[in-house]
Structure 1
Amino acid sequence: MPRLSEVIAALETLWPAERAESWDAVGTVAGDPDQEVTRVLFAVDPVQEIVDEAVKLGADLLITHHPLYLRGTTTVAATHFKGRVVHTLIKNDIALHVAHTNADTADPGVSDALAGALDLRVTGPLVPDPADPEGRRGLGRLCALDHPLTVREFAARAAERLPATAQGIRVAGDPEALVRTVAVSGGSGDSLFDHVRAAGADAFLTADLRHHPVSEARAHSPLALLDAAHWATEWPWCELAASQLDEISDRHGWDLRVHVSKTVTDPWTAHAASATSDPLGAPN
Structure 2
Amino acid sequence: MDHSEPATDQTVEEDERDTGQPATLAEVLLAVEELWPESLAEDWDAVGLVVGRPANPVQKILFAVDPTLEVVQEALDWGADLLISHHPLMLRGVTSVAATSGKGKVVHALIEGGCALLAVHTNGDSAVGGVSDVIADALGLEEVKPLQAARHGLPEEGIGRIGELPQAMQLGDFAALVFSVLPAVAGGVKVAGDRQGLVRRIAVCGGAGDSLLSAVQAANADVYLTADLRHHPASEAREGRPDGRPYLIDFSHFASEWLWLPAAAEALGNVLGDQGFDVELRVSQVNTDPWDFILTPGMA
State whether TM-score is above 0.5. Answer: yes
In structure 1, the partner of 2:169 is 149
1:225 to 2:233 alignment: no
Question: TM-score when scaled to structure 1?
Answer: 0.94
In structure 2, the partner of 1:135 is 155
C-alpha RMSD over aligned residues: 1.3
Q: Which amino acid aligns with 1:223?
A: P
How do 1:67-216 and structure 2 match up within 5 A? Answer: 67-132=88-153, 134-216=154-236
Alignment partners' CA distance in 1, 2:30 and 2:152: 21
Alignment partners' CA distance in 1, 2:179 and 2:252: 10
**1:122 and 1:141 in contact (8 A); partners too:** no
Alignment partners' CA distance in 1, 2:228 and 2:99: 31
Residue in structure 1 matching 2:59, options 25, 38, 60: 38
Structure 2 CA distance for partners of 1:170 and 1:255, relative to 1, 3 Å? same
In structure 2, the partner of 1:281 is none
Alignment: residue pair count: 275
Alignment partners' CA distance in 2, 1:274 and 1:223: 26
Shift of 1:122: 4.8
Residue in structure 1 matching 2:274, options 251, 255, 273: 251
Q: Which amino acid aligns with 1:194?
A: S
In structure 1, the partner of 2:80 is 59
In structure 2, the partner of 1:279 is none
In structure 1, the partner of 2:10 is none
**1:170 and 1:226 in contact (8 A); partners too:** yes
Alignment partners' CA distance in 1, 2:155 and 2:275: 29
Question: TM-score when scaled to structure 2?
Answer: 0.89
How do 1:13-32 and structure 2 match up within 5 A? Answer: 13-32=34-53
Alignment partners' CA distance in 1, 2:286 and 2:77: 13
Alignment partners' CA distance in 1, 2:126 and 2:185: 25
Q: Which runs of 5+ in 1 are unaligned?
A: 277-284
Alignment partners' CA distance in 2, 1:259 and 1:229: 22
In structure 1, the partner of 2:69 is 48
Alignment partners' CA distance in 2, 1:79 and 1:212: 37
The 3-state SS of whatever aligns with 2:259 is: helix
The percent of aligned pairs where both chains have the same amino acid is: 49
The list of structure 1 runs, each at least 4 consecutive aligned residues, that deviate by more than 6 angstroms after superposition, is none
Q: Which runs of 5+ in 2 are unaligned?
A: 1-21
Shift of 1:65: 0.6
Q: Which amino acid aligns with 1:227?
A: D
In structure 2, the partner of 1:237 is 260
